[in-house]
Amino acid sequence: MNTKNIVLEVSGRERILNAAASLFGELGYEKTSIRSISRESGMKPGSIYYFFQSKEEILLEIYASGFSLMTDIVLAAVREVDDPWDQLYSACAAHLEGIFEHRTFIEVTVRELPDRYSEPARSEMKKCRNLYEQIFSKIIDEIPLNHTVDRSTFRLSLLGSLAWTLVWYRPGGRLTPRDTARNMVDLFRKPCSSFGDNSL
Amino acid sequence: MNTKNIVLEVSGRERILNAAASLFGELGYEKTSIRSISRESGMKPGSIYYFFQSKEEILLEIYASGFSLMTDIVLAAVREVDDPWDQLYSACAAHLEGIFEHRTFIEVTVRELPDRYSEPARSEMKKCRNLYEQIFSKIIDEIPLNHTVDRSTFRLSLLGSLAWTLVWYRPGGRLTPRDTARNMVDLFRKPCSSFGDNSL
Amino acid sequence: MNTKNIVLEVSGRERILNAAASLFGELGYEKTSIRSISRESGMKPGSIYYFFQSKEEILLEIYASGFSLMTDIVLAAVREVDDPWDQLYSACAAHLEGIFEHRTFIEVTVRELPDRYSEPARSEMKKCRNLYEQIFSKIIDEIPLNHTVDRSTFRLSLLGSLAWTLVWYRPGGRLTPRDTARNMVDLFRKPCSSFGDNSL
Amino acid sequence: MNTKNIVLEVSGRERILNAAASLFGELGYEKTSIRSISRESGMKPGSIYYFFQSKEEILLEIYASGFSLMTDIVLAAVREVDDPWDQLYSACAAHLEGIFEHRTFIEVTVRELPDRYSEPARSEMKKCRNLYEQIFSKIIDEIPLNHTVDRSTFRLSLLGSLAWTLVWYRPGGRLTPRDTARNMVDLFRKPCSSFGDNSL
DNA sequence: CATGAATGAGGATTCATTCAT
DNA sequence: GATGAATGAATCCTCATTCAT
C-alpha cells in the first residue's frame, strides 16, 4: 500500500462510524441494526466488535464527534465577533448550517435524546449536550436583556426553535439556514407586535 | 357484576391503550415490546391482537386520541378569549398544562415524529399533527405582527419552543406550565433587548 | 322465513363448508386458517366451533362429501353402459368432468393425501379414497386384459394419470375433459407403438 | 480435529439441508417448522438464518438439488441406450429407483407442487420441474408412436403414473422399482386388450 | 344460533453479541 | 485486522381453540 493511496484509505473504524451515523440519523438508534451497519459499511457483523464493544459505544462515539464538530463550527463562527447579539446571530447560523451540511453526523445528536438511554450512556450523552449548550448560554449571558425577560426561558426557547428545524426545514427552500437563523433571533430581539399594540 | 363496580370496569382495549401509551411515552415506540404492553395491561400478547391488528395500529390510535385530547383542551382554553395575543397565551398555557397533566397519552404525540414511520402510518400521523398545529396557525394569523416578522418562522419557532419543553421541563419546579407559556410568548411579543440597544 | 327465500337460505354449516372447501383446495389445508374460513364464510371464528369440533373435522366432512359426490357422478355415468372398456371411458370422463365442474369441493380430495395426517383422520380419509377407487377397480376387473398385463399396475397408473391432470389440465384448452379421458384410456387400450415396431 | 474425522465432518449448511429435506418430505413444507429443522439438525433456530435467508430458500435449494440429482441419474441411465423405447424403460426405472433410493431429497420434489407457492418461488420451482420433464419429453419425441396417439397426453399420463407411485409404492413389495417401470411403460407400448377385443 | 373476548403455544424471523481462527 | 460460524433471547404476530353469554 503506497502513499499515493493514502487519501482514499478509510479505516474500518471510520467506515463503521460513517455508516452508523447515517443510519442512526435516518432511522433512529433502535431501528438500526448491527447487520444494517455491517451492510452499509462493507464489513461483517463480527468485525464491528473488533472495533467497538457494543452498539451503544458506536452511538456514544458518534454523539461525541457530532457535538465536537458542532462546537468547533460554532466557536469558529463566533470568534471574531464582538457584539453579543451578533454572536448569537453567528452562532445560530453556524448551528443551522452545520446541521444541514454535516447532517450525517449531526442529526444523531439532535434526535437521540439522553433520557431514553440508561446509565452510564445517559450521563455521557448529557455531558456532550451540556458542553455544547454552554456555548449558547455564555453568549446569552452577555446579552443585555430587558430585566423582565427570563434568561433561562430565553435560552431554552431558542434551543427548542433550533432543534425543531429538523422537523420542518428542508434545504433548498425559500430561506437559507442563515436567513432562518437571523429571523429566529430577531423574533426574540425585536418586538413582534405591530405598532398599535400598547401592551408593552 | 353490580353497578358499584361500573366505574372501575375498563375494557381490554382501554387497558391496552393505557399501558401502551405509558410505555411508548417513557421508552419510545421501538423500545416498547408487545410483551411489555401485555405485562403492563395484564393481558396476554396474543390477546392484544384481538383488539388491534398490529403494534403500529396501537400507536396510531394513541396518536389520534392524544391530538384529539390536546385539540379539545386548547380550543376550550381559547374559546372565550378575544385578543389574539391573549389567545396565544391561553393556547400555549393549555398546551403545556395538557402535556404535563395528561402526560401518559400526550408525550407520545410530541416524541414520535412521523418521519420515522413508513406509509401509510406516516401520512396518518402527519394529518393529526397538522390538524393540531392549525389551531396555532390560525391564532397567529390574527396577531398584528410587525411587517418585518416572518410569520412562518414565528409559528415554527413557537412550536419548537413548546415541543422542547419535554426535554427540560420538570413539573414542580420554579415555573408553572402557565408561567412558562407566558414567558415564552412574551419573548416574542416584547423586545428582549434592554434599553441601551439601539439596533431597533 | 317464507318459502320464497328457501332457495337462497344457506345454513351456517354449509357456508363454512363451502368457504373451507374453496380455501383448502386453493391454498391447502395447512395454509388455510380458521380465521380465513371465518372471513370467507362471513362468520366469526368462535362460531365455527359451534358447528365443528375442529379444523380437521371440517376437512373430513369435505373429504367425505367430495368423494361421495364423485362416486355418485361416476356411478351414474357408468350405470347404463355394458362394455367394460366403455365403462372405463365413461368413468374417467365423468371423473375429469366432475373434478373441473365441482372443483371447489373435489380438488381437496385429490390434493390432500391421507399419509400427511395422523390417526384417526388418516384412516377416515383412506376409507373414503378406497371406496371411490374400488369403482375403478371393479370396472377394470371386468376388462379382458392381455395376460401379460399387471392388473394392479394398470389400475394405479390410470389413477395416477387422472390425478396428475390437476397439475397440468386447464379448462378451456385444446382438449375437453371427455377428450382427455378418451385419450388416456386409449393409451392403455391400443398399442401406441407405430407399425414398424416388432417387439410385440 | 484430526484427519480421521474428516469424512464425518458435515457443514452446518448440509446438516440443515438434510434435516429439512427429510422433514419436508415426511410432513410437507407447511407442517415443518424451523424449530423442528433446528432440532433435527442439531442447530439452534437462529443459526439456520446464518445460512439461509428464509424457510422458503431452504426449500428452493432442496428442490433444485433434488431435480439436479434426478437429472443426473436419469441421464446416466439413458446415455448408452439407443432405442427410444429402451430409453424410456431406462429413464422410468432410473426415476423410480432414484426416488426410492434418495427418498430424503427427492420426495420433496414430487410432493411440493409449485402452484401452492407465490412468486418468485413458484417460477423457480417450475423451472426445475420443466427442465427435468424435458428429459422425458425428448425421449418420447423420438418414439415412433401410432399416429392416433396424442403425444402430449402420452407424456403427461406417464409422468402422472410415475408421480403417483409415491402414494402407493412401498419398497420391498412384490415389484422392484425396475419391474414397476417396465410394467408401466409396457401398458403404453403394448395393447392391453386381450385377444377377443376387436375394437382396434 | 352465534359471538366477543381471551388465551397458550407456537409461527418465522431478527437481535446484539461471542469467539476461535 | 477481520471474519465465519453460531447462539440465546427476543422480536412481532398467528395459530387453533375455549367459553361465558
For residue range B107-162, list pLDDT tens digits in order. 999 889 999 999 999 999 999 999 999 999 999 999 998 888 889 999 999 999 99
pLDDT in tens, A180-193: 999 999 998 887 77
Q: In angstroms, rounded to a whole number, what is the distance separating the alpha carbons of residues B96 and B80? A: 19
| Amino acid at position C104, single letter | T
CA A45 distance to own-chain centroid = 28
Mean pLDDT of chain A: 90
| Residue of C61, C44, C43 whose CA lies nearest to C52 | C61
**Which protein residues have a C-beta closer than 7 A to any atom of strand F?**
A 11-12, 43-47, 49-50; B 32-36, 45-46, 49, 53-56; C 32-36, 45-46, 48-49, 53-56; D 11-12, 43-47, 49-51
Which CA-bearing residue is nearest the C1' of E19?
Answer: A46
pLDDT confidence of residue B51: 97
Chain A residue at shortest CA distance from B116: A27
| Contacts B148 to A, Cβ<8 Å | 186, 190
Residue C67 pLDDT grade (very low, low, confident, very high; cuts 50, 70, 90): very high
Question: DSSP letters of B61-125?
Answer: HHHHHHHHHHHHHHHHHHHT--SHHHHHHHHHHHHHHHHHHSHHHHHHHHHS-GGGS-TTHHHHH
In the complex, which nucleotide's C1' lies nearest to the CA atom of residue C53? F17
Candidates A55, A153, A155, partner chain B, best to mutate (most B CBs within 10 A): A153
Interchain touch B–C (≥3 Cβ pairs closer than 8 Å): no
Q: How many CA atoms lie within 13 A of A149 on its CB side?
A: 26
A195 versus D27: the higher-pLDDT residue is D27
Could you tell me which chains touch chain D, where touching means 3 or more CB pairs under 8 A?
Answer: C
**Average pLDDT, stretch A57-77?**
95
Nearest by CB to C116, from D27, D168, D188: name it. D27
- Whether residues C192 and D159 touch (CB distance < 8 A) is answered with no
pLDDT value at B7 more than 70 = no
pLDDT value at A83 more than 80 = yes
CATH homologous superfamily, domain C1-52: Homeodomain-like (1.10.10.60)
- Whether residues B116 and A167 touch (CB distance < 8 A) is answered with no
Residue A63 pLDDT grade (very low, low, confident, very high; cuts 50, 70, 90): very high
Residue A6 pLDDT grade (very low, low, confident, very high; cuts 50, 70, 90): low
pLDDT confidence of residue B147: 86
The answer to whether some atom of strand E lies closer than 7 Å to the beta carbon of B191 is no
Residue C166 pLDDT grade (very low, low, confident, very high; cuts 50, 70, 90): confident
C76 versus C9: the higher-pLDDT residue is C76
pTM of the model: 0.88
Residue B8 pLDDT grade (very low, low, confident, very high; cuts 50, 70, 90): low
pLDDT value at B53 more than 50 = yes
Q: Which residues of chain D have pLDDT under 50?
A: 1-6, 196-200
Who among residues 71-90 of B has its Cβ near strand E, under 7 Å? none
Q: How many CB pairs under 8 A join C and D?
A: 146
| Residue reference for cell 407424456 | D155
Q: Assess contact for B9 and B45: CB atoms under 8 A.
A: no
Domain residue limits, chain B:
1-52, 69-192
The CATH class that applies to domain A69-192 reads mainly alpha
**Average pLDDT, stretch A126-154?**
92
Mean pLDDT of chain C: 89
- Whether residues A164 and B156 touch (CB distance < 8 A) is answered with yes
A2 versus A44: the higher-pLDDT residue is A44
| Residue reference for cell 468547533 | A72
The answer to whether some atom of strand E lies closer than 7 Å to the beta carbon of D144 is no
pLDDT in tens, C99-157: 888 889 888 998 899 999 998 999 999 999 999 999 999 999 999 888 888 889 999 99
